[in-house]
Structure 1
Amino acid sequence: MSEADFPVRSAARARTLVELDGQVVRCRACPRLVAWWEEAARIKRPAFRDWEYWGRPVPGFGPVDAALAVIGLAPAAHGANRTGRMFTGDRAGDLLYATLHGLGLASQPTATRQDDGLALSGVRVTAPVRCAPPQNRPTPGERDTCRPWLARELELLRPTVRCVVVLGAFGWQAVLPALESAGWQVPRPRPRFGHGVRTTLVAADDGAGAPVTLFGCYHVSQRNVFTGRLTPAMLREVLATAAHTAGLAVDRPGAVEPPPPGSAGQP
C-alpha cells in the first residue's frame, strides 16, 4: 500500500473508532504536512523545550457514542501536534473546552495534556485535517487526501450522532462531502457557511437512519476572538443550541470568559 493510498484503504477497514484512531496516527500521506509536524516537534517552541512532542497525526477525542460532533480545522503545530489531543494546549482549545465545561459537557474547563483528566460527555471533537499544517493552512489537496478519516469517523458515529458543529468555512467545505460519504444527503446547491447557520441532512439510504443537523460557527481562533468576530457568548449559544438539538442535557448557564493572553502558550 502506498502512503497516498493509506487513508482510503485503512479508514475503510476500521470497524470501530478505536481502530480508526489507531490507523490515523500512522498516516504519512501528505509529505508537506509530515515534514512540517516533524520539524515543529524537533525544533519546538522555547516555552515547550522540555516537552516530548506528539509529532504525529492527531485522532479525534471523545466518546464513541457521541450525539454531538465538533469539527475544527487542523491541529496547531505547538498545540495538538505537541499534546496529541485535538484542541489541547492552545488558546482555541482554552475557549472551546471552557465553553463545553460551562454547558456540562466537559469534566473540566482546561485542556493541557493527554493525561490531564479531561473527559467529554456526549461530544466528540475532531478535524478534517489530522496533521498540523504550515501557517494553519492546509491545501485543498491535503484536505481531500485526509477526507476518508473524517468520513469514516462520521459513518461510525452514525448510530448516535445527531448534530455537527463546524468551526469555520474551511471545515464546512470539508465536512459536507464527508457527511455525504458517511450516508447523508447533501442538498444542491450545497448549504453555505455562516455563523449560526443550521441545516438538517436526511439519510441517503431511502430514509433509513436518523437525520443530522449541521451548525455553522466561526472558528475559535485567537484572531476571531481577539477581534470580536467570535465572542464567548456567540460560541456558547451555538454549542448550547446544538447540544439541546442532539438531546444532550445542558446545565451551568452563564457567561464564559475568553482565555487570557498566553494562557496556553499559543500566540
Structure 2
Amino acid sequence: DHQYWGRPVPVVGDPRARLLVVGLAPGAHGANRTGRMFTGDRSGEWLFRALHRAGFSNQPESIGPGDGLELLDCLITNVCHCAPPKNKPTRDQLQACQHWFDQVIDAVPARVFVALGGLAWQGMAKLIGRRDWSSQRLPKFSHGAMAPLAGNRWLVGSYHPSQQNTFTGRLTEEMFDEVFSQARSKLT
C-alpha cells in the first residue's frame, strides 16, 4: 500500500500527445493516495481499460508509479490538481489551479480533448473562451457531445467513469469505448 501523496497531482502521459483527457480532480483515495492521475480507484480502472482498448495505453491498468504504464499519444490532466473536499472542487481551488491547467494546454499539442463529466466540460469551455478557440457557443454537456474548435481541434464529452455512473449503468464500457473511438477518428 502507498503512503498518501497528499499534494497536487501532476499530469501523466505523453507530453507530445494529440489526445488530452481532462478529469475534474484527484480522487481522495485514488490519485491523492498514489500520486498518479486516475490511479488507485475504480474510475481509473475504467479509464485505463478504455484507453488500452483504444490503443492509447500499453496496458489496461494503472496500479502506481513504476508499474510500466505508458500512455501512447495521450496525456491525462485535471481541471483541479488537488483532492477537493467531498470530491467537488471549490471555486477557490479551481481558480488556484487555472494557471496549472492553462500551462498544460499551452505545452501539449493536443487536437482532441475528452472532458470526463460536466465540470471538466465547463473547465474546458472556460479555457476555450480564454483562448478564443470557438466562434460559436459550445453545446451543452452530454455524453458523446462533440464541438469543433479552432486549429482543427475537437472537444468531446463523456460521462465521468465514477461509480455513481458505472454502477447505475448510466455509463457502460461500450459507451466509454465509443467516446475514445470518436476521439481516435478525429486524430486521423
TM-score interval for Structure 1 and Structure 2 normalised by the shorter chain: over 0.9
For 2:155, the equivalent position in structure 1 comes to 214
Query: Is the 1:161–1:246 contact (alpha carbons within 8 Å) kept by the matching residues of 2?
Result: no
Q: Deviations over 1:34-65 (max 9, x none)?
A: xxxxxxxxxxxxxx5xx222111001111111
Q: Which amino acid aligns with 2:99?
A: P
Q: Residues of 2 paired with 1:191 and 1:149: CA distance?
A: 25
Q: Which amino acid aligns with 2:84?
A: P
For 1:223, the equivalent position in structure 2 comes to 164
For 2:128, the equivalent position in structure 1 comes to 179
Q: Tell me, what secondary structure is at the counterpart of 1:227?
A: coil
Matched, 1:200 2:148: yes
Q: Residues of 2 paired with 1:141 and 1:194: CA distance?
A: 26
Q: Residues of 1 paired with 2:16 and 2:117: CA distance?
A: 24
Question: Normalising to structure 2: TM-score of the pair?
Answer: 0.94
Q: Residues of 1 paired with 2:27 and 2:110: CA distance?
A: 26
For 2:38, the equivalent position in structure 1 comes to 87
- TM-superposed CA distance for 1:211, in Å, is 2.6
Which of 74, 80, 103 is the aligned partner of 1:152? 103
Q: Tell me, what secondary structure is at the counterpart of 1:75?
A: coil
Query: Is the 1:184–1:201 contact (alpha carbons within 8 Å) kept by the matching residues of 2?
Result: no
Q: Which has the larger radius of gyration?
A: 1
Q: Which amino acid aligns with 1:93?
A: G
- TM-superposed CA distance for 1:184, in Å, is 4.1
Q: Residues of 1 paired with 2:128 and 2:36: CA distance?
A: 23
Between the two structures, name the one with larger relative contact order (CA 8 Å, sep ≥ 6). 2
Q: Tell me, what secondary structure is at the counterpart of 1:125?
A: strand
Q: Residues of 2 paired with 1:120 and 1:102: CA distance?
A: 12
Q: Residues of 2 paired with 1:189 and 1:98: CA distance?
A: 33
Q: Which amino acid aligns with 1:119?
A: E
Task: Write out aligned runs for 1:60-75 (5 A).
Answer: 60-75=11-26
Q: Residues of 1 paired with 2:148 and 2:186: CA distance?
A: 11
Q: Which amino acid aligns with 1:145?
A: A
Matched, 1:108 2:59: yes
- TM-superposed CA distance for 1:179, in Å, is 3.1
- TM-superposed CA distance for 1:145, in Å, is 2.3
Whichever structure has more strand as a proportion of its residues is: 2
Query: Is the 1:71–1:126 contact (alpha carbons within 8 Å) kept by the matching residues of 2?
Result: yes
Q: Residues of 1 paired with 2:3 and 2:144: CA distance?
A: 38
Which of 117, 135, 139 is the aligned partner of 1:191? 139
- For structure 1, the 5+ residue unaligned runs are 1-47, 203-209, 248-267
Which of 133, 155, 169 is the aligned partner of 2:84? 133
Q: How many residues align?
A: 188
User: Identity of paired residues, percent?
Assistant: 42
Query: Is the 2:138–2:147 contact (alpha carbons within 8 Å) kept by the matching residues of 1?
Result: no
- For structure 2, the 5+ residue unaligned runs are none
Q: Tell me, what secondary structure is at the counterpart of 1:65?
A: coil
